[in-house]
């Protein structure tokens, strides 16, 4: 087998030329063998951090206490880590002790799953000490060694494992399933930020529905914030997550299918950023009114075309709108958006200054009401977006306001 990581080859060559062992390890090897895109290429070596920094001109000691040095080469950054073993995990995440090792085997033994414990040398030869390639062929996820020991080191590995089930469409090994079911309460010790990262990836996975079912089957879902009373309703398992293209859409589908309407309490418990809280909230608001709703030029203008199309994808994923017609509905939204005379309030031909001048009044609450009314009239085409037409409309509007008040 040829060495597929050409841009990392020079780093391995430099290390081996100076008497050290060096291998590409982990996710890069896994994804290459699975035919998936490779993003980050990590390297493990017998060289110690100070030796790594001596060999390469541009380095950053990003985790030197754990043996990791970032090597910047040809415009890319590679994490180069010394062979190591770990022991003691009092905080259920960080090892109490890290020991640098002289053998690749000791390094691979500390990794989470067999498919992540693969290494490749400079010739392209695969080092597989725990049956990772066989597990890939069987589409099975197993831990390296005892599952309960791997979980005790970092309980997030349960969420990470179920996330891999979603991403790779693998099944979870029986020993791992049993260990997850016995130890799911340990997830309470993990920060919600780390769990949220895994859930985002899980919901985006090709087999998201199977992974969600696994969350219920192992009990993991019941210790996640605001999900202790979640029900494994069939509607949740019929959601077509593959239709959805953003985190906000996937979360909205997940929450709606669980019947969770108090979204802001959920968002607070999960420490969502304000942007996601806003996006999910708006999607759920449209979802709640979808049965009585139809897009027109004004509603597309108010929502914006991207949110409008996200609503259509959400309703399709939830089975509330026809899948076969999704593309047509999205095209209709694009057509309505293109037909809008203006795309934002900034494009109105008249500003508040003109309205104040024509009114002969001081600014007040009437001004924002007038601008909002004008914006609606221009979007719907009832008033042309030019000064003369706007002034004529405004004088009629002003007269009606005086009669009203």
pLDDT confidence band for 404 (50 / 70 / 90): low
CB atoms within 10 A of CB 198: 20
- Asked which of 83-87, 245-249, 367-371 is least confident by mean pLDDT, the reply is 83-87
Please provide the CATH number assigned to the domain covering 1-138: 3.30.460.10
- Kind of pairing between the strands at 22-25 and 42-45: antiparallel
Cα 391–394–396 angle (5° rounding)? 115
**For the chain, percent of residues with pLDDT exceeding 70:** 97
- Residue span(s) of the chain under CATH 1.10.246.80 come to 347-404
Give the mean model confidence (pLDDT) for residues 284-296: 91
- Please write the tens of the pLDDT for every residue from 304-352: 999 999 999 999 999 999 999 999 999 999 999 999 999 999 999 999 9
- Please write the tens of the pLDDT for every residue from 124-179: 999 999 999 999 999 999 999 999 999 999 999 999 999 999 999 999 999 999 99
- Please write the tens of the pLDDT for every residue from 198-229: 999 999 999 999 999 999 999 999 999 999 98
Answer whether 178's CB lies under 8 Å from 142's CB.
no
Residue with tokens 């920060």: 191
Q: Count the helices and strands in the chain (H runs, E runs).
A: 20, 11
Element (H, E) at 178: helix 174-183
**For the chain, percent of residues with pLDDT exceeding 90:** 86
Residue 405 has pLDDT above 50, yes or no: no
> Distance between CA atoms of 251 and 394, rounded to whole angstroms?
44
- Asked which of 19-28, 38-47, 77-86, 91-100 is least confident by mean pLDDT, the reply is 91-100
- Residue span(s) of the chain under CATH 3.30.460.10 come to 1-138
Look at phi and psi of residue 131 and say left if phi exceeds 0, alpha if psi is from -120 to 50, else beta.
Answer: left
The gap from C-alpha 295 to its chain's centroid, in whole angstroms, comes to: 28
pLDDT confidence band for 236 (50 / 70 / 90): confident
The gap from C-alpha 272 to its chain's centroid, in whole angstroms, comes to: 12
For domain 139-224, the CATH class is mainly alpha
Average predicted confidence (pLDDT) for the chain: 94
The gap from C-alpha 129 to its chain's centroid, in whole angstroms, comes to: 32
Beta pairing partners, 76: 73
Give the mean model confidence (pLDDT) for residues 44-49: 96
For domain 347-404, the CATH class is mainly alpha
- Residue span(s) of the chain under CATH 1.10.110.30 come to 139-224
Which of 240, 156, 236 minimizes the C-alpha distance to 206? 240
> Distance between CA atoms of 95 and 46, rounded to whole angstroms?
20
Residue 116 has pLDDT above 50, yes or no: yes
Predicted structure pTM score? 0.91
Residue 378 has pLDDT above 50, yes or no: yes
pLDDT confidence band for 401 (50 / 70 / 90): confident
pLDDT at 96: 66
pLDDT at 44: 97
Residue 4 has pLDDT above 70, yes or no: yes
pLDDT at 89: 59
* Helix segments in 18-84, DSSP class H: 27-34, 49-55
Answer whether 210's CB lies under 8 Å from 231's CB.
no
- Please write the tens of the pLDDT for every residue from 53-106: 999 999 999 988 889 999 999 999 999 999 998 765 565 556 667 788 889 999
301: DSSP letter:
H
- Please write the tens of the pLDDT for every residue from 174-190: 999 999 999 999 999 99
The structure tokens listed for 21 are 């062992």
The structure tokens listed for 41 are 């290429």
Which of 121, 168, 112, 184 minimizes the C-alpha distance to 142? 112
pLDDT at 94: 61
Which of 249, 240, 235 minimizes the C-alpha distance to 323? 240
């Amino acid at each position: 087998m040829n060495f597929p990581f050409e841009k990392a080859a020079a780093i391995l060559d430099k290390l081996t030329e100076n008497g050290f062992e060096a291998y590409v390890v982990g996710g890069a090897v896994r994804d290459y063998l699975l035919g998936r895109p490779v993003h980050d290429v990590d390297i493990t070596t017998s060289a110690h951090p100070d030796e790594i920094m001596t060999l390469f001109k541009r380095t950053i000691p990003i985790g030197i206490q754990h043996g990791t040095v970032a090597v910047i080469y040809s415009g890319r950054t590679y994490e180069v880590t010394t062979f190591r073993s770990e022991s003691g995990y009092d905080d259920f995440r960080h090892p109490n002790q890290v020991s640098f090792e002289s053998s690749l085997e000791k390094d691979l033994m500390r990794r989470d799953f067999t498919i992540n414990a693969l290494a490749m040398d400079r010739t392209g030869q695969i080092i597989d000490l725990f049956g990772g390639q066989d597990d890939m062929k069987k589409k099975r996820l197993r831990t390296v060694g005892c599952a309960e020991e791997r979980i005790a080191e970092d309980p997030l590995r349960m969420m990470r494992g179920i996330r891999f089930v979603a991403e790779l469409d693998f099944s979870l090994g029986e020993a791992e399933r049993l260990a997850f079911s016995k130890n799911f309460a340990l997830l309470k010790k993990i920060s919600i930020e780390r769990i949220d990262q895994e859930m985002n990836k899980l919901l985006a996975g090709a087999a998201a529905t199977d992974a969600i079912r696994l969350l219920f089957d192992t009990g993991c879902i019941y210790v996640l914030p605001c999900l202790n009373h979640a029900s494994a309703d069939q509607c949740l398992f019929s959601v077509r997550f593959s239709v959805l293209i953003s985190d906000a859409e996937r979360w909205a589908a997940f929450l709606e299918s669980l019947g969770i309407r108090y979204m802001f309490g959920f968002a607070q418990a999960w420490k969502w950023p304000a942007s996601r809280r806003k996006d999910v909230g708006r999607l759920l608001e449209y979802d709640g009114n979808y049965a009585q709703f139809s897009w027109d030029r004004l509603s597309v203008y108010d929502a914006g075309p991207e949110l409008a199309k996200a609503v259509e994808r959400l309703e399709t994923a939830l089975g509330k709108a026809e899948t076969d017609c999704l593309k047509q509905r999205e095209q209709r939204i694009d057509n309505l958006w293109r037909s809008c005379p203006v795309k934002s309030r900034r494009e109105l031909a008249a500003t508040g200054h003109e309205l104040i001048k024509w009114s002969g009044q001081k600014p007040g609450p009437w001004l924002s009401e007038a601008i909002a009314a004008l914006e609606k009239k221009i979007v719907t085409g009832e008033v042309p977006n030019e000064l003369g037409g706007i002034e004529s409309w405004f004088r009629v509007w002003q007269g009606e306001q005086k009669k009203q008040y």
